[in-house]
Amino acid sequence: MEPGEPREPREPGPGAETAAAPQWEEAKTFYDNLAPQKKPKSPKPQNAVTIAVSSRALFRMDEEQRIYTEQGVEEYVRYQLEHENEPFSPGPAFPFVKALEAVNRRLRELYPESEDLFDIVLVTNNHAQVGVRLINSINHYDLFIERFCMTGGNSPICYLKAYHTNLYLSADAEKVQEAIDEGIAAATIFSPSRDVAVSQSQLRVAFDGDAVLFSDESERIVKAHGLDRFFEHEKAHENKPLAQGPLKGFLEALGRLQKKFYSKGLRLECPIRTYLVTARSAASSGARALKTLRSWGLETDEALFLAGAPKGPLLEKIRPHIFFDDQMFHVAGAQEMGTVAAHVPYGVAQTSRRTSPTKQAAPAQ
C-alpha cells in the first residue's frame, strides 16, 4: 500500500459483536437507572382489597388538631398552608400501610398482570387546600397512595361504598360508628403507649373473635345469663356456625391473598399472617369458633385461647401491625404493651361500655 492511500475497511473479527453486547447492555442499564422510575398502576377498586385510612390515622396531627379545636377552621387551614412543605410524622396506621405495600410488591413479582392487590385510599374531611401537605408527606415517605377523598368538612362515610372499601380506619370514633352502621368494616385506631418494632416483610393482623369476626350472640348470653349458661350454650351449639361479625369480610380478603402465595408453594414464606386472639376457653368454647371459621372456608394461622387472661402480653410477643377488639379494656391493655390497637364499635358491649380512668385508651390524634 502506497503512503496516503486509503485503507480498505476491515471485516469485524469473530467475537467483536459479542464483546460489544455486554458494553451496550451495561450502558443501557446505567441510563435506565438514571431515568425516573415509573410507579405501578393502581388496581381497579372492584378488583382490589381497599383500605380507607383517615389522615389522622396515617399521620400524627396533634398540633394541627389542637389549632382546629381551639382556633377554628380558618386558622387551621392557614397553619397547614404555611407548613405544607413540612411532612407529618407517621401515625399509628403508618406501619400497617407500609406492610400492605410490602405485600403488594411480592404479589406484583409473582403475578405481574393481577390487580388482586391492596389499594390504600386516603379519606379525610380536610379542606382540599390541606391536600398539598398530605401529598407532600406521602411522597416524602414514598408511599403508594393514589386515591384521595377530601370532603371539606363533610363526613366522608357516604363515599366508602363507592370506593369498594374493605376496611376503614380512623381516629374519629363517631365516623367509625357511622361506617359500622352502614355495614362497612371499620375501627377506631389508637396509638400505642410506646414504640415497638414490627416486621418489615410480613403483614401481621390479629383479631378478637366475638363481635369482631363473629356476631355478638355469645357475648349477649354471657351478659344476660352468666358464664355457666354461656358454656352450656356453646357446647349445645358447637356444630352450628356463629353469624358473621363486622370484620369477617376483611379476614376473607386476607385469606384470598394468602392463597395466591400458597398456590406458588409459599405457605411457610407467606408475607401475610393472621391471628385469632380471644378470651374464650379452648376446652369449653373454642371448638365452635374454629368450626365457624372452617364453615366459612377461612382459617387463621394461629389461634390463641386465653380463657379470660389479659391479651396484652401475648400481643407483645406477636407484634401485629394492628389488633382489632370490640372491648376498650382489651384495646387499652394492648396499647400499654406497645401494640397498635383498633376498637370495633359493634355488639352488646357498646351499649354499656365503661372504662376505668387507668384503662382509658388514648385515641390517635
| Active site amino acids | 208
Report the alpha-carbon distance of residue 172 to residue 57 in Å, rounded. Answer: 9
Report the alpha-carbon distance of residue 109 to residue 106 in Å, rounded. Answer: 5
Distances (CA, A) of 104 to 99, 111, 114, 265: 9, 10, 11, 18
Q: Which H or E run contains 50?
A: strand 49-54
Beta-carbon contacts of residue 218 (< 8 Å; ≥ 6 apart): 210, 230, 233, 234, 242, 285
Residue given cell 366522608 in the structure block: 156
**Three cell numbers written together for 269:** 414464606
**Three cell numbers written together for 114:** 393481577
Contact criterion met (CB below 8 Å) for 208 and 278: yes
For 291, other C-beta atoms within 10 Å of its C-beta total 15
DSSP state of 9: P
**Three-class secondary structure assignment of 283-343:** HHHHHHHHHHHHHCCCCCCEEEECCCCCCHHHHHHHCCCEEEECCHHHHHHHHHCCCCEEE
Which residues are registered as beta bridge partners of 275? 206, 302
Report the alpha-carbon distance of residue 316 to residue 304 in Å, rounded. Answer: 13
Which residues are registered as beta bridge partners of 326? none
Report the alpha-carbon distance of residue 17 to residue 334 in Å, rounded. Answer: 65
Report the alpha-carbon distance of residue 2 to residue 26 in Å, rounded. Answer: 41
For 296, other C-beta atoms within 10 Å of its C-beta total 16
Report the alpha-carbon distance of residue 98 to residue 197 in Å, rounded. Answer: 13
Residue given cell 356463629 in the structure block: 242
% helix, strand, coil for the chain, step of 5: 40, 15, 40
